[in-house]
Amino acid sequence: MLSDKFGARKVMTFAIAWWSAFTAFTGMITSYTSLLVVRVLFGLGEASFPSGSWKTISTWFPKKERATANSMMMAASAIGPAIAPLFVVGIMSYFGWRSVLLFLFIPGIIIAALIWVFVRDNPAQSKMITPEELSVIQEDNSINEQDAANKGAVNKLSFKDIIKLPVMWKLFFLWLTFDIVFWGFGSWIPSYLVNERHFVMVKMGIIASLPYFAGTIGTWVSGYISDKFFVGKRRNFIIICEVAAALFLFLTYNAPSEVLAITFLTVAGFFVCATMGAFWAIPMDILPAEVMGSGSGFINTGGQIAGIISPIIMGFLIQASGGSYKTAFTFLAISSLVSAGFALSINEKGKESSPKSITT
């Protein structure tokens, strides 16, 4: 909502600066209470960024390029966890965990400054875009809002109107069940490698990076494939990725050797992250750019709920099974299949997916 009202550039800059500061503050905590307070405040900043970024992509790119553009951005969610263990484990080993959190303040502030300098809410305000590129974007936007009456209705869409669309609730639960897999994957894989596969800390840091390196490639590739072959039917590509992710998560735990387990885990990372590249092109295709901030924020709330419950449920399942990760991996695989089921229920070209159906 803030991105729609004040512009994505301001919200993204403030969000990154905010959560970078609270990353550093996490390294300064002195009690469990202060840890809880700082991490809650950290989350306010972290969760404010994505909707601004999706609104920016929706504004800056024509429909046929949005999945590719989104996949380039969402690849950060994979390359970050891939790179982080390689230096975090080393810094933590020599200087302690607090130093890692203090260090991470620096790149965050640099990125916030770069966004403020280079990103504009409207492509027409940027000096780096050519007239030809601007024409393509504006032409695409005019096609999406063909008649003036409908355009006026779209611009008056409220948040209440947006959540009346049945497809928005399907996307909400699709993203919630997908993010259960993503957050569970990220939260518990390091522990699985140490406790179940008996890797030492440094080796674990290297191995834990492999699924995310594969996921980075998967995210990039998925955006291109989605734009090239699945415009208007992106749900089909999402279903393929989620079913494959469920399969390789199941194979990971049941692998008889470390080599096979790492191989299956890496392939699972590829397909888990590949889902992200294609997914966010769907709301961008459905919603006008003017309301993309609040619309994507609503959908991403499902992901935030998943971030709360997934690590807790997995921890409970592991503890209840006496330290075995079997039920936890089964939980992730089932969540991925449920998410694929929500994708199957989406009709990207149907009346339920059209904002015009609300305003007429």
3-state secondary structure the chain: CHHHHHCHHHHHHHHHHHHHHHHHHHCCCCCHHHHHHHHHHHHHHHCCHHHHHHHHHHHHCCHHHHHHHHHHHHCHHHHHHHHHHHHHHHHHHHHCHHHHHHHCHHHHHHHHHHHHHHCCCCHHHCCCCCHHHHHHHHHHHHHHCCCHHHHHHHHCCCHHHHCCCHHHHHHHHHHHHHHHHHHHHHHHHHHHHHHCCCCCHHHHHHHHHHHHHHHHHHHHHHHHHHHHHCCCCHHHHHHHHHHHHHHHHHHHHHCCCHHHHHHHHHHHHHHHHHHHHHHCHHHHHHCCHHHHHHHHHHHHHHHHHHHHHHHHHHHHHHHHCCCCCHHHHHHHHHHHHHHHHHHHCCCCCCHHHCCHHHHC
- Residue entry with tokens 């970024």: 53
Amino acid (one-letter) located at 176: L
Looking at residue 340, what is its pLDDT?
96
Q: Two tokens at 129?
A: 């875009």
Q: Two tokens at 207?
A: 């191995």
- Residue entry with tokens 């609104």: 55
- Residue entry with tokens 């994957």: 185
Query: How far is the CA of 58 from the CAs of 53, 66, 121, 141, 240, in angstroms?
Result: 9, 7, 11, 10, 25
Looking at residue 88, what is its pLDDT?
79
Amino acid (one-letter) located at 59: T
* Residues in the chain, pLDDT under 50: 143-153, 360
Q: Count the alpha carbons within 13 Å of 240 in the hemisphere toward its beta carbon.
A: 13
Query: How far is the CA of 331 from the CAs of 36, 71, 264, in angstroms?
Result: 27, 26, 17
Looking at residue 149, what is its pLDDT?
45
Q: Which of 42, 56, 278 is nearest to 178 (CA)?
A: 278
Looking at residue 92, what is its pLDDT?
81
Q: Encode 285-307 in three state secondary structure.
A: HHCCHHHHHHHHHHHHHHHHHHH
- Residue entry with tokens 């590829």: 270
Q: Which of 271, 291, 290 is nearest to 163 (CA)?
A: 291
| Rounded Cα–Cα distance for residues 310 and 331 (Å) | 9
Four-point Cα dihedral 216, 218, 220, 222, nearest 10: -150
| Rounded Cα–Cα distance for residues 116 and 128 (Å) | 14
Give the angle 295-300-301 at the CA atoms, nearest 5°. 100
| Rounded Cα–Cα distance for residues 339 and 287 (Å) | 21
Q: Two tokens at 262?
A: 């790492």
Q: Which of 274, 267, 280 is nearest to 241 (CA)?
A: 274
Predicted TM-score (pTM) of this structure: 0.77
Per residue in 231-289, pLDDT (tens digit) is 888 899 999 999 999 999 999 888 888 888 889 989 999 999 899 878 888 888 888 87
1, 158 in Cβ contact below 8 A?
no
Q: Two tokens at 12?
A: 């993204």
